[in-house]
Amino acid sequence: MIERLANRRVDKRSASTLRSRGMPDALRLSGLHIYAAIVIGLSGPQATLAQTAPQDPGASGKPPAAQSQGHGHARRGKQVHLSNAEGAKIQLWKPSLETMPLEIKHGAVAIPSTGVDNYHALVAIRDWGDLHESLIRYEYMRGKPSGESPSKILGAEKSPFELVPDPLPREHQHYESGAEHHFTVRLHGEPLPNAQVTLETSNGAHATAVSDAQGRITLRLPDDFPNVQPGEEDKRRASFSLSAETREGSTRYRTQLVADYRVNPNHWQSFELGLLFVGLGLVAGGLIGRVGLPRSRKK
């Protein structure tokens, strides 16, 4: 397993000038603070499908060119803003593998509530003939019990070439900075070994990994949120994308997996736990002192 990580922390002064490596000037996005824009998916000869991470609640400046609204565990649905997605076929996969066609209106795709819980998959596919592109994002929706396991939607072939979480975070859990996560590269439903996968975060970090003989990769999400204060709860989130490309005959395949990640709670939970142990130690020490000291007898 090969993994290279070059953290590029983004502060309020530099976020507006961040740009994805290798992207033309026309795709430069500016005016973002704390969370820099991340360009993802469908980069054909005429267009690029783009989505950005949400702005920090305390940040000021121009709104991002593309933005997702709502939360990863949504009951009322969610809206994902995309740009230059003309010609893409967009579907929502339910936990039962039933699919719903979605339309882009005013640069946004509304993900409706399906009435059932568990993970759904937003899949955008565009076929240029000799170039097949796909973008996949998994969303946990709330509702009545679906009776399905997340392994069902993960096992389904949603695109000829795809990056699959292995596994998805459990309900009420999230991808976290500084934590290891596993993914599988698949081509026509079969694991693809020796595939190079690139990780990019909206905070500006980059990493690469190569899939093993089973098509699996392990990546540690960078702990790249700026100004994290030990002992203080931090609910910020950002986006990351995993991208890969392969060729089969005269056809090139490109795919991207997009997800949100959050500040690792160890930044404040370990601090609180340490204080708890100190407090328990003092209390226990006091009790031992009381029990261990012999009482003086009156003469």
Q: What integer is the mean pLDDT of 131-152?
A: 95
Q: Which domain holds residue 166?
A: 3-292
Q: What integer is the mean pLDDT of 72-76?
A: 54
User: Model-level pTM greater than 0.75?
Assistant: no
Q: Which structure tokens are listed for 25?
A: 């000037």
Q: What does the pLDDT read at residue 205?
A: 95
- Residues 43, 254: Cα–Cα separation, whole Å: 9
Average pLDDT, the chain: 75
- 299 located within any domain: no
- 115 located within any domain: yes
pLDDT in tens, 189-198: 999 999 999 9
- 22 located within any domain: yes
- 170 located within any domain: yes
Say yes or no to pLDDT of 18 above 50.
no
pLDDT in tens, 248-290: 999 999 999 999 999 999 999 864 444 444 455 555 555 555 5
- 298 located within any domain: no
- 119 located within any domain: yes
pLDDT in tens, 97-116: 999 999 988 888 999 999 99
- 163 located within any domain: yes
- Residues 269, 278: Cα–Cα separation, whole Å: 14
pLDDT in tens, 171-213: 889 999 999 999 999 999 999 999 999 999 999 999 999 999 9
Q: Give the residue with greater pLDDT, 39 vs 130.
A: 130
Number of domains in the chain: 1
